[in-house]
Each structure stands twice: as C-alpha cells, then as structure tokens.
Structure 1
Amino acid sequence: MIKSSNGEIFEKETGGTLIDRIFKVGIKDAKVEAVLQPIMTTVMLGIFVGILGYGAVRIQQGTLTSGSLVAFLLYLFNIITPVASFATFFSQVQKAMGSTERIQEILSTKPETTTGQDIDVEGKTITADHLNFSYDKDHPILHDVSFEAKPNTVIAFAGPSGGGKSTIFALLERFYQPDSGTIKVDQQEISDISLANWRSQIGYVSQDSAVFAGSIRDNLQYGLNHQLTDKELWHGLQLAYADEFVKNFPEQLETQIGERGVKLSGGQKQRIAIARAFLRDPKILMLDEATASLDSESEEKVQRALDQLMIGRTTLVIAHRLSTIVDADQIYFIEKGTVTGHGSHQELMKDHKLYAQYVNEQMVN
C-alpha cells in the first residue's frame, strides 16, 4: 500500500516524528535519574557523616561504646542502599504502568459466559426480539431488530453496506451480547446455552474467509473434536469445488499456506473456508457473502455446493447477489441498523420501494 501510493516520504516523516518523541522521553528520563541519584546519595552520605560525628562525641563523653557505634553504622549502611535506589524505583514503576496498560485492560474485560445447558437446535425456530446493540454507546448499530428463522428455511439479510447485517451474525455467534432484546431457540435464550454446544452446531462462513498459518489439513480439521480421514477431507474439498486446486499442489493436503493464507488466492481461501463448513456438518448455517471472493465460474460451482449444504438446515445468509435473495424463504431488508421491511421477494418488490430499486439496479448491472 505504501509503495503503490508513493507514501514513503510521509511514512518516513511520521516514523521519524514518533522515534524523536521516544528519544526525547528517554533523554528526559535519563536527566531525572541523573539529578535524583546524586541528590539522594549526597543526602544519605550527609546523614552518615552527621551520625558518625555525633557518635564520636558520645564515645568521647563515655555515653556510647565504639562497638555500639560500629553496629549502628552497619545497620545504617543496610538502610542507605535501598533508600538511595528509590528514585530509580519510582521511574521503573511509571514505565511498568505504561507498558502494562493494555494488558490491564484485557485482564479487566469481563469473560464470556461459557456454561449452560446443552440442547439440540435441529428442528427448532430461532427468534430475535427487539435487538439493540452498539460497539460504542454514542454510536448505536442495531435498533429494535426482530426476525424469525424457522427450521429448514433460508433467511436472507439484504440492504446497503454498513447497515448492521454482519453485526447480527456476530450476536448470533455470541461474539457480543446485545444491549437489550433476546435471541431464542424456541423458548430457550441462547445466553443460557453452553457456548461450546451452541457454536458446535453453527457453520459460519464469513466474507473475509479466515484461514490460519499451517497446512490445508490443519485448516480443514480446525475446531473439530475428532480426527477426519483423508477420504472425508477430500470429500469436503470436493463439495466446495476445492479439490482440484489442492491436488495441483505438490504436497496436496500437507501444503503450507502461510500466515493468513498468503500463498492462496482469495477464491481459494474462500473455498477452503466453505469446505471447513461442510466438514463441520452444522445444523445452523450462516453465510456472510460466502461467494464474494470467487470468480464467476467458481461462484456458480460453490453456489450449487452451498445449495446442497442448505438442505435440511436452518440457513441465514447475508446476500447482495440477486440469485441468493430471490430463492430465500424470507428476506429482511436492513437499513441503518433497522429492519425496514421483510417478506418474500415478490412481497418486497411490491411493497418496499428501496428493495425494488436495490433489485432493479442489480438487474441493470
């Protein structure tokens, strides 16, 4: 990005400014220590000389023995050393407080509630009632969002970018808790369900196709509590139309894909993520623009594979493509964090002006 934008000079100036600030703070710290250390040492030596003089006078008067004075001075030496290092101590404390500020913030974060009941979500309705949510209290994201996903149906969320569709998925995955409102499976709130049990029944394919450093096998196996055979892995790849490019790699399933999958194209990463969803065999399928990174040919193949995966499952999909929207059982149109209309494609085309415009623009394109 820096090279393609000719931003070297800007980054050099910005980086130089930051380095200069660090340098000045270091100089200031050194100056403070350079002043405080001699002062503390001088004060301690002054006290030592004063006590030595006073002790000599007491010995001369016969009110103190020389042994007692020596013992007192030895104790004084043991006290002077730590007291003289107090200046350095306070400086180090301030540095440590600054260095651990982010760690303290993380440690003070309230942990997720992981305990709860184990339930089977198959054949049950997912209902969201009056959801409100904000990442920042001053900037609300969702306002009074309600929807219902019946078993074995496809629910689509459509609307302009930035409307809060991915945030709804984040609440369903329990990455965050809503500010108000509830999400239920039949009559059971999802917050009362065991977190591991709930997430084990969800297959989530996001638009950024998250993959990890390691082999293709590791990525396909990720998160599963049982070891898959090579036959099962290849079957999952085949369903996601990813088996062909994996076979072309010399090491096939053992191919190292690099940090965040840098050795794969965007479409390849997306198909690996989709294959992982196949292998999880989820009861709830959540697709956040799952085919966004694919070329036309791959998109058609993967869409057919996703259609197979949707059979017998409750599917929630964030969609911008017309084909996905038209085939959904229910469509919820999200604008600025609010549901402005819902129904079938035909109903919304008739009753929702912006949805009709949204569809017509795609048809023109």
Structure 2
Amino acid sequence: MARIQYVARLATDKNSGLPLPQLAGQAVTIVKRGTTTPVTITEDEAGTMVIPSSIRTVSTLLFIPSFWVNEADMPVSALGAGVEVPLDTSEGIAKRLDVLEPQVAAAVSSSAASAASAEASRIAAEAAAAGGGGGGVTAHGALTGLGNDDHTQYHNDARGDARYPLKSAVTTEIGNAVATSSAADRNRANHTGQQAISTITNLQTILDGFGGTAVNSVNGLSGVVVVSVTNLAGTGTAGRAVMGAESEAAGRTALGAAATSHTHTASQITDSTATGRGLLTAADAAAARGVIGAGTSSLELGTTGTTALRGNAIVLNPSTLTGLPVGTFVAHT
C-alpha cells in the first residue's frame, strides 16, 4: 500500500485561513478528516518508524510537523483543542498551485486592464475640463501621492509579514523539525518491526565468533519451541515426574518417599527384639522395669527385713561368733 507524505503545515482556521495561536505547543492527533478516528502515521515512507498515538506537537510558530500516512487513510486533519485543521500533501499543494497560478495571472491582468482604462478615462475627463487640447502632468515621476497607501485591500510587505511567517522563521522551524526528527529516529522506543543482521555493523561476525551449530528444531519441533520434560532424551518416568512436580510434596510422592513429618511403630524397626520393643511401648517406668525384671524403683539399703543388703556386705555365721544371739547378721563395710 502506497504511503503519502504530508508536509509541515501552518495551523490555520479552515474557514478564515487565519493562524490559530491557541494551538502553539499543543499536541494534536492526526485523524481521518471529518472524524475523530486516529490514523497510523510514521516518520518514514517505508512505515517502519511508527509515531506513537498518532500525535504531532505544534511548534511555537504554529507549524504542524510532517509525516507519512497510508493512501487509504487520506484525507486527514490535525485535531486538537476542539479545532480541526485540514492538512495537505506535497502533491496536493502542487496541484493547488497549478490551478491557482493561471487564475491569479488572469485576475492580475484583468485588474491592470481595468486600472489602465480608469486612468485613461480620468485623463480624458481632466483634458475635457481644461478645455481640450491635453494638459496636466504627463511624466509619471511628476505625479503626487505615489507613496500613499490608499488601497489597504492590496498586499504589501508589511501586511504579508503580519499574516505569514517570515522566510527566516520558516527556515529555523524546518531546521528544528529536522533536529527533533533525528532525535526521535535515534530513540529506541520508536523502533519497531524487524531489522536484517546485515544492516548492523559486525553483528554477524560477533555471532559467528560464538561457534557452535545453529539449532533450527528441538526433537522435531520447529518455530518458537517450548521445551518440556517429555522432550529430554535419556530421562526415566520417575525423573520426569520429579522435574514436573509443582511442589516438594508432589516430588516426594513421585519418588514414593515418605512425607517430611511421619511416624513408625516399634514393630517396623526391623532389627528390634521383643524386650527392646517392650521398653519402647511401656506405658510407664514401672511397666518398663517389669519388662526387664528390675523390681521396683524404691530400693532401700539396710539390715532390716524390709531393706536390701548391700552387695559388698560380708555375712558371717553367728555360730562362730562368741556372745552373739543366734540369727544375728554382721555386715562389714
């Protein structure tokens, strides 16, 4: 699709043709003419440098910067501050000049002829009033009032300067627009689309320096490939299940492992004995002592009938001891 350039244009009222100072410095949106629908505009003819949000900023001298647009979206206008400014393509301006030039030439010629005829009539009337035979001033330089501005409807330099930008101002504005566009061209945010490797200095050489072999597919998959655990060669069912687990618990389940927090019964201890398991499962200390035949835990040493004799005590036969009653025990410490 062809793209057409819209040249920088002075922001003027579409009816009166007068400048619109309220648009100075304002952002305007490029829309389909007669609507509020934005059209896509770019900085270049190729259409790769898209201008964000279809917005152009009016300069302080009331110029709307140039841009390119799809031919199908034409004609377009600049819309801002409630005002629509119809815009022209460079081709459109040239066509308008081609039409206006002969019209202006014809108007000038007609005006000159009318002025000459009026001047001849005036001279004839003056001659008649003087009694015929001519008379009056005949040299143009001798006429008076040549410097008077008696016809305010006609163009002169002062009126032109007041209505239209000066050439010097236009030149400055164009220079500023070029500088602004150049900065926008260098702004990475304005770059979209694809760019050939060959257009980037030394990029191919740098990539070649990495070595290796280009990979165009993964396990028969091509294009944008998402590699899953099923694509990994040499993996087992358990390994893939663990890699695909979404949590630690799921990973343990995949391996058949016990939970982080779990219990075992005494009977599940494979090398335990009946006595050991009895101790582990005893309800209290008395039961544990019963398992191992340890008696009670209230053992008291002494020489009475309710106490226990010390292990290192020596018991003597009282019959060998003179003067001791029969049955007396003598403990030696």
Please report the TM-score for the alignment, with normalisation by the length of structure 1: 0.20
Highest CA radius of gyration, 1 or 2?
A: 2
Relative to the length of structure 2, the TM-score reads 0.22
More helix by share: 1
Query: Structure with the greater relative contact order (CA < 8 A, sep ≥ 6): 1 or 2?
Result: 1
Q: Which has the higher strand share?
A: 1
